[in-house]
């Protein structure tokens, strides 16, 4: 990696602690603040590659953890993975068959960025809406949902959509997020079903 990464303390810490990316600390921080995951929760991680959130999820639950991504995910002990599109009904059905009850859906996915802020933000919101639709299709009533998004013109619409489906919804910017980033997480608890 280039010099950008050699100066990134969170990235260097992630590597030294055996995590696949700095994103691990974002999920750890979210769990510490909001307690979205219980020891017996079955969890689906959407957009799971390279697998850093899967590594953290494995330590937070004794139940089943499934990662779904368009790209292959290198094996992690105790983790199942599916390679495919989260909008594909076949993938959604396979995920439910593999886990049975789904208590939590998390999504740290982001579209490939073009550098055009408004375009990238719109694509991020569209991905968020797809992840929300997936969660609404598979989550059990009372389940939780955590999703990354980016603040911008379309963000309030996504936030409003999440609020329609969950009883408690908050937004949160993690300390591990790079300075200047518009990245924000939506923490949604107690799915209405």
Name the residues annotated as catalytic. Answer: 148
Reduced to 3 states, what is the DSSP secondary structure of residue 103? strand
Contact 28, 56 (CB under 8 A): yes
Cα distances (angstroms) measured from residue 54 to each of 23, 31, 164: 11, 13, 28
Nearest to 113 by CA among 101, 122, 104: 122
**What torsion do the CA atoms of 149, 65, 95, 108 make, to the nearest 10 degrees?**
10
Q: Rounded to an integer, what distance in angstroms lies between the CA atom of residue 39 and that of residue 20?
A: 23
| Two structure tokens written together for 18 | 């055996």
């Amino acid at each position: 990696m280039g010099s950008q990464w050699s100066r990134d303390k969170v990235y260097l810490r992630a590597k030294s602690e055996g995590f696949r990316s700095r994103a691990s600390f974002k999920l750890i921080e979210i769990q510490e603040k909001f307690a979205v995951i219980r020891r017996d929760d079955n969890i689906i991680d959407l957009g799971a590659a390279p697998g850093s959130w899967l590594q953290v999820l494995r330590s937070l639950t004794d139940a089943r953890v499934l990662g779904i991504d368009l790209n292959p995910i290198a094996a992690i002990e105790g983790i199942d993975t599916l390679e495919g599109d989260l909008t594909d009904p076949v993938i959604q059905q396979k995920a439910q068959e593999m886990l049975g009850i789904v208590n939590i859906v998390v999504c740290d996915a982001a579209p490939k960025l073009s550098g055009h802020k408004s375009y990238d933000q719109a694509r991020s919101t569209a991905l968020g809406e797809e992840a929300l639709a997936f969660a609404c299709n598979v989550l059990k009533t009372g389940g939780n949902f955590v999703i990354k998004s980016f603040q911008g013109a379309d963000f309030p619409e996504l936030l409003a959509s999440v609020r329609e489906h969950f009883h408690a919804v908050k937004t949160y910017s993690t300390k591990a997020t790079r300075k200047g980033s518009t990245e924000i997480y939506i923490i949604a608890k107690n799915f209405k079903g």
